[in-house]
Chains A and B, each alone.
Chain A
Amino acid sequence: MHPLPFSLQLLNACAALLLLLSFAMLSQRRTVNLVNLLAVQGSLLVIATLIVAWRTGQPHLYVSALLTLALKVFALPMLLHRLIRRLNVWWDTEPVINPSGTMLIGLLVVVFSFGLAQPISAVADTAIRSTLGIAIAVILLSFLAMITRRKAMSQVVAFLSMENGLFFGAMSATYGMPMVVELGVALDVLVAMLVLGVFFFQIREQFDSLDLYHLESLKERD
C-alpha cells in the first residue's frame, strides 16, 4: 500500500476533526459554545476547500472558500451571538435522551454512514474514500442533535451544522457544486437565518421563552 499524498492526508485530518466536532456539538449544552464550535466547523470547511482548490487548480473553489469564510465563519456565528445576547438564551435544558445515550446512538450512526457511503466510494476516483462517509456521518449526527434538543437555538445550530456536512460532502465527492448553485445555496442559508431571527423574536414575544415545549399544542386530538 503506497502512502497517500500529503494534501490528501491533510484532507483526511480535516474530515476526522469535523467528525470529532460533531460529537462535541452533540454533548455541548452552552449555546455560546455551540455557536463557537459551529464557527470552528466552518473554518475547517474553508481549509478543506482550499486544499481541494489547490490540488485540482479549479479557480471557482477559491471563491467558494471565500464565500464559506465570510458566511459560515463570520456572518452566521456573529448573527447567532447577537441573537443569544438579545434573547438571553445561554443554556439549553436537559436533552431528551441523556448525553451518554446520545453518544452511543451517535457511534451507531457513524457505522451506518460508512456503510451507506461504501457503494459510492467504490466507484470514486476522487479524494473521497473516507471523507464521504464522514460527511454523511456529520449530516446524520446533526440530525440526531436536532431531534434531541429542546431549545430553538440549539436546533438551529444543528441545522447549520447539517448544512456544513452537506457542503463537505459536495466538496469531497465532486470538488464543489457549480458556482451558480453554490451562490444560490449560500443566499438561501443567509435568508433562512434572517427569517429565523425575525421568527425567534415573534416566538419570544408570544411565549416569553424559546423553549420548544411551548410549541407542542398542534397535535392530532382524539
Chain B
Amino acid sequence: MELILLLGAPVIGALVLALRGDRSYGPEVNAGFSAVTFASACALAVRVVSYGPLLLYDEQFVIDAFNVFLVALTAFVGLTTALFSRPYMRVEVANGKLGPGRLRLYHSMYQLFTATMLLALTTNNLGLLWVAMEAATLSTVLLVTLYRTPASLEAGWKYFILCGVGIAQALFGTMLLYFAAEHALGSAGVTALLWTHLAAVKGQLEPTVVALAFVFLLVGYGTKVGLAPLHNWLPDAHAEGPTPISAVLSGLLLNVAIYAIVRCKILVEGSLGSALPSQMMMGFGLASMLLAAFFLWRQRDIKRLFAYSSIEHMGIVTFAFGMGGPIANFAALLHMTVHSLTKSAIFYAVGHAAQKSGSQLIENIRGLVTISPTIGWGLMLGSLAILGMPPFGVFASEFLVLTTAMKQQPWATPFLLLALGVAFAAIFGKVQPMVFGETTARRLPHPPALLPVFVHLGLVLVLGLWIPPYLAAWYHDAARLIGGP
C-alpha cells in the first residue's frame, strides 16, 4: 500500500503539474506531492524496520535494509528541494529566464524524475532497474536545457549522448547476467532477472560470463555515477541546469546509480569468489577522487566547482564499497547519506547566492555575509562540512574510510590523503572570499528559502556527533547485506 502511494504520488503529480504547473500555486502543489511521497517513504521505512524485508507484487519489488534507507533519503531530499525551488523558480520567472510553458515542464519533470529514481530503488527486476535509470536520464535532459542557452544545449546533448551510450553498456551487462542466470536456473524465464532469485543462486552462475557482465555494468552505471574517465557530462549538466536540478542530480541520482552498481556487485562477488569487482571499484573510485581533486583548482564557475566535488565524493563511496566488509560498507552508506544532505544544502545556498550576484562565476560573487548572513554562513558551513571538518558527519564517514583503508588497503592511503588535502585547499580557497569581503550582491524579489539549508546541515551535524541507535542498526543491517571480502 505504501509502495503504491510512494510510486503513484509523483506520477500523478507529474500529470497534474503538466497541466497546471504554471499557475501561481504550482510550486506549492509540487511540494505537496513531494510531501506525500516522503510520508509514504517514512511509512514504508517503519514497516521494514519493524517487520523485516518485504517482497511485493509477484516479487517484482523488494524492500530491504539497503534500499529502504535510500528511499527515505531520496524522498526527504526530494521534499526539501521542492521547498527550496518555490522561491528559486519564482525569482527565475521574475528575472524573465523562463516562461509559463517551461515552468510546467519543470514541475512535471521534477515529479517524474523522483518517480523514476524511486522505481529504480525499489524494483527487484534488474531489467526494470535499467529501464528506470534510463528514464531518469530522459526526464532530466530537458531540465538541463531549460534555459535554452547555447551552453545549456551543449550540456544537455553531452548528458544525453554520454549517458545514453553508457547505459547501453549496462543493458548489455544486464543481458549477460540474464544469460548466466538462465543457465543456472534452467529455463526460468521471467524470474531469471529478479535480484532475489539471482542472489539465491549466485554461487552457480558461470564466472566468465558474470565477470564480463560486471565490466559492462560497472562502466555503464559508472557513467551515471560520474566515475572518471566517464565523468565528462557531469560538471556541464550540473552547471547549466536550474539549481534545484543540480541539487537532486548531485544528491540523489548519483546515489541511485551507485546503488545499481552495488546490487550487481553483490551478485558478481558471490559468483566469482575473487577480488576482481572490488579491485575494479577501488581503481575507478581512486581515479575519480584524484582527477576531481585536481580539476577543482581550475574551476571558475561555482556550480562546476561543487559538481567536481560530487565526482570526488562518489569516488570515495565507490572506493569504500570496493573495499567491502562491514566497516567500509557502513562508512560508504553513511557517506552517501551525509554527502547527499550536505551537497544539496550547498547547492541551495549557491543557487540563491548566484541569483543575488547575477552570475555563477566565483569572481563575481563576493562578500555574501554582509548582505545576507544566512546565505553566507550556509555556504561557509556547508563547504566546511563537505570538506570533512569535524564535527560534521562527512568527517565521521571519511575518517572511517581512511582508517579502514589503512588496515585493509594500505597502498591506497597516500592517494586518499592527497585527494582530500588537494580538494580542501581548492574549495576552501575559493569559497572564503565569496563569503567574506566587499559585496556587490542585491536583494531578491522573493525571500529565499533557507530553512532546508540549515535543516540539512543540522542533520549532518547530528550524524557526525551521534548516530541514533536504530539508524546505526539499520546501517549495520545494510552493510551486512552488501557483504564483501
Q: Which residues of A contact B (CB under 8 A)?
A: 116, 119-120, 122-124, 139, 143, 146, 152, 155, 159, 162-163, 166, 169-170, 173-174, 177-181, 184-185, 187-188, 191-192, 195-196, 198-199, 202-203, 205-207, 212, 214-218, 220-222
Contacts and interface: CB of A to CB of B under 8 A. Distances in A.
A101 B74 CA distance: 48
A146 B193 contact: no
Given A162-B168, A206-B148, A177 B178 contact: yes
Contacts of A177: 127, 175, 178, 193
22 contacts: A116-B212, A119-B209, A139-B172, A155-B161, A159-B164, A174-B179, A179-B190, A184-B128, A184-B131, A185-B134, A191-B135, A192-B138, A192-B164, A195-B142, A199-B141, A203-B153, A205-B148, A206-B149, A212-B157, A214-B154, A215-B154, A218-B240
Interface string B262-278: 00000000000000000
Contacts, number: 132
Contacts of B128: 180-181, 184
Interface residues of B, number: 47
Contact of B160 (A146, A196, A216, A220): A196
A5 to B, nearest CB: 20
A195 B156 CA distance: 11
Nearest to A177: B127
Contacts of B155: 218
Interface string B178-216: 110011000001101100000000000010110010000
Contacts of B176: 120, 173
B3 interface: no
Nearest to B209: A120
B56 to A, nearest CB: 15
B165 A139 contact: no
A195 B161 CA distance: 12
A16 to B, nearest CB: 21
For the complex, would chain A's binding face be called helix, strand, loop or mixed by DSSP majority?
Answer: helix
Contacts of A198: 142
B150 interface: yes
A181 B125 contact: yes
Interface string B235-254: 01000100000000000000
Contacts of B130: 181, 184-185
B212 A120 contact: yes
B118 interface: no
Contacts of A173: 175-176, 179
B145 A191 contact: no
Given A185-B131, A185-B134, A188-B134, 16 more contacts: A119-B209, A123-B183, A139-B168, A159-B164, A159-B165, A162-B168, A181-B130, A187-B131, A195-B160, A196-B160, A202-B148, A214-B150, A215-B154, A218-B151, A218-B154, A221-B300
A166 B135 contact: no
B436 interface: no
Contacts of A185: 127, 130-131, 134, 171
Contacts of B158: 215, 218
A217 B154 contact: yes
B454 interface: no
Contacts of B164: 159, 192
A170 B175 contact: yes
A120 B142 CA distance: 39
A155 B328 CA distance: 41
Contacts of B134: 185, 188, 192
A119 B208 contact: yes
Interface string B121-141: 000010110110011001001
B407 interface: no
B295 interface: yes
